[in-house]
DNA sequence: ACAAAAAGAGAGCAGTGCTCTTGCTTTTTG
DNA sequence: CAAAAAGCAAGAGCACTGCTCTCTTTTTGT
């Protein structure tokens, strides 16, 4: 074990170790079976010692949720960043495939984040920011298209959509996307995660044979729907 | 003289009471907080007594899952059955709205069924049957349309789709729907539940202002997509 | 060098799922 | 119709959990 230089560093290191250990156990057992005592045992420590770093189990879970959002977000950003900005089709495919692949590789973390929320748990602000990252990747691809192919906003559509959307928020990330396409965009976002959840949680059993192929099919259609290729 | 079977009746009644009590607590606390001991306490009984009726906590949860599927299925069937069979648009709207309303009225039961699955839990066969009910309502509406407006199956589409779908299974409930529309149908199904999950689990926060209106918008578009109106 | 702050250990409380034994009641059967 | 079998409830108990409290050890700033 390396000797940490300062207490602050040691503390940060300890927090990382706890989270890493917890993540390891999470991947084996799932969120509801994650036990603070087992994390401590795994680290050759007392459970009470962990309470110096996380006030309770929920706080640890929140930290894991935050990490999961950021990991998924960063993975998607990185994967998509490699593709030429003008190649909208490939960007869309790469981004959505990365989301699915990440979910399959981290099923319990995906479930933690996109499955049923912990009862009584309310997402703190930082979580919301982290949660936005994946979504923004998809949004940026769509927006880039309409930035390059400017489309006039239809006032009546704008007005109608503004009644059920938080238009200001959506336009913060997709300023060039007309209302009509915002609706389709949010729909595509919903469907991508709906797909992944259905696949992961077993609802496609007896319906889908080749998930990979069907996912590509769906995602290609969605790309057409939102008008980016 | 009929031989007395009060014991059998009593047993069934007891099972129903346990489930009802559990459901009540579930609605208050959520699945992961549901405690067998608390159910027993609520019934003025010992926890060990409950083990005569359910071998373990998971078995009780499975029973609740089964009931939830059937309740959602029956609600949707009943609501849709009232509408004239020829009025496809209304049937579609009523069915999908019923699904959403049921979810909002029974959030914890919805989460139990469509949220993250219990770790290590594998759905028994009866569950699969019950799970099919809602889906079949949607499928039947689509199929009814293509039964009335027969559409030739495009062999190349059929072949392509058969590679990722379990076509035999899907055609069992939707024999008249061409492959192309099966893809869109499954997509619509995914999107409806993706929407409800996103709404219920808080992922539409900051994006959607009026869920009711947006849901109608989405569901109307889906109806057009699958070609039934 | 020393007091203050931080961290860990250990005991303990209340809660959980689940098992086993012990009596009691109902049903089945010889 | 009584005896045997089966069903049911209760209570004690085990191993686990989250979490708190107190006490001891280690580290740090002055």
Let me know if B82 is exposed, middle or buried by CB neighbors in 10 A (0-12, 13-18, 19+): exposed
Q: Which nucleotides of C are covered by protein (CB under 7 A)?
A: 6-11, 15-21, 26-28
For B34, nearest residue in chain A (alpha carbons): A119
Strand D contact at CB of residue A11, distance < 7 A: no
B window 3-42, beta carbon within 8 A of A: 29-33
Full 3-state SS string of chain B: CCCCCHHHHHHHHHHHHHHHHHHHHHHHHCHHHCCHHHHHHHCCCCHHHHCCCCCCHHHHHHHHHHHHHHHHHHHHHHHHHCCCCCCHHHHHHHHHHHHHHHHHHCHHHHHHHHCCCCCCCCCCHHHHHHHHHHHHHHHHHHHHHHHHCCCCCCHHHHHHHHCCECHHHHHHHCCCCCHHHHHHHHHHHHHHHHHHHHHHCCCCCCCECCHHHHHHHHHHHHHHHCCCC
A49 SS3 class: helix
Strand C contact at CB of residue B37, distance < 7 A: yes
Return the number of CB contacts < 8 Å for A and B: 136
pTM of the model: 0.95
Low-confidence ranges of chain A (pLDDT < 50): 1-4
Token reading at A144: 């880039």
Distance, in Å, from the CA atom of B22 to the CA atom of B64, rounded to the nearest integer, reads 8
Q: Which among B103, B116, B133 is the top mutation candidate for probing chain A, defined by the most A β-carbons within 10 Å of its own β-carbon?
A: B116
Beta-ladder partners of B208: A165
Cβ–Cβ gap B203/A114 under 8 Å: yes
Determine the pLDDT at residue B119. Answer: 54
Closest residue by C-alpha to C1' distance, nucleotide D17: A35
Nearest to B207 among A118, A186, A198 (CB): A186
Strand D contact at CB of residue A58, distance < 7 A: yes
Q: Does B124 touch chain A (CB under 8 A)?
A: no
| DSSP secondary structure, B44-109, as one string | TS-HHHHTTT-SSHHHHHHHHHHHHHHHHHHHHHHHHHTS-TT-HHHHHHHHHHHHHHHHHHSHHH
Q: What are phi and psi of B208, to 5 degrees?
A: -110, 135
- In order along its 229 residues, chain B shows pLDDT tens digits of 233 457 889 999 999 999 999 999 999 999 999 999 999 999 999 999 999 999 999 999 999 999 999 999 999 999 999 999 999 999 999 999 999 999 999 999 999 999 987 555 566 788 889 999 999 999 999 999 999 999 999 999 999 999 999 999 999 999 999 999 999 999 999 999 999 999 999 999 999 999 999 999 999 999 999 999 9
Determine the pLDDT at residue B117. Answer: 78
Token reading at B51: 């083990």
Is residue B208 within 8 Å of residue B176, measured between CB atoms? Answer: no
Nucleotide with the nearest C1' to A8 CA: C6
Residues B71/B54/B116/A18 CA torsion (nearest 10 deg) = 160
pLDDT > 70: what percent of chain A? 95
Q: Which among A190, A216, A218 is the top mutation candidate for probing chain B, defined by the most B β-carbons within 10 Å of its own β-carbon?
A: A190
Token reading at B38: 């608390």
What is the spatial distance, in angstroms and rounded to an integer, between the CA atom of A87 and the C1' atom of D12?
Answer: 70
pLDDT in tens, A170-227: 999 999 999 999 999 999 999 999 999 999 999 999 999 999 999 999 999 999 999 9
For B132, nearest residue in chain A (alpha carbons): A203
Please calculate the CA angle B152-B155-B158 and round it to the nearest 5 degrees: 95
Give chain B residues 170-189 with Cβ within 7 A of strand D.
none
- Sorted by sequence, the CB contacts under 8 Å of residue A41 that are 6+ apart come out as A47
Residue reference for tokens 């059937």? B70
Strand C contact at CB of residue B56, distance < 7 A: yes
Nearest to A117 among B120, B165, B201 (CB): B201
B window 102-121, beta carbon within 8 A of A: 108, 111-112, 114-120
Cβ–Cβ gap B164/A213 under 8 Å: yes
Determine the pLDDT at residue B199. Answer: 94
């Amino acid at each position: 074990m390396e000797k940490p230089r300062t207490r602050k560093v040691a503390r940060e290191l300890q927090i990382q170790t706890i989270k890493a250990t917890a993540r390891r156990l999470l991947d084996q057992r799932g969120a509801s079976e994650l036990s603070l005592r087992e994390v401590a045992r795994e680290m050759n420590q007392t459970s009470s010692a962990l309470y110096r770093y996380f006030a309770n189990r929920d706080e640890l879970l929140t930290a894991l949720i935050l990490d999961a959002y950021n990991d998924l977000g960063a993975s998607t950003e990185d994967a998509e960043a490699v593709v030429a900005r003008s190649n909208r089709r490939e960007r869309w495919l790469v981004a959505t495939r990365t989301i699915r692949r990440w979910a399959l590789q981290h099923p319990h973390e995906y479930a933690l984040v996109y499955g049923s929320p912990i009862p009584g748990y309310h997402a703190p602000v930082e979580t919301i920011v982290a949660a936005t990252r994946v979504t923004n990747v998809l949004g940026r691809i769509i927006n880039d298209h309409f930035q390059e192919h400017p489309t006039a906003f239809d006032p009546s559509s704008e007005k109608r959509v503004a009644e059920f959307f938080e238009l200001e928020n959506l336009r913060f990330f997709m300023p060039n996307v007309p209302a009509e396409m915002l609706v389709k965009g949010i729909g595509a976002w919903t469907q991508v995660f709906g797909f992944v959840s259905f696949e992961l949680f077993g609802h496609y059993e007896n319906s889908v044979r080749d998930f990979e192929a069907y996912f590509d099919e769906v995602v290609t259609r969605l790309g057409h729907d939102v008008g980016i290729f």
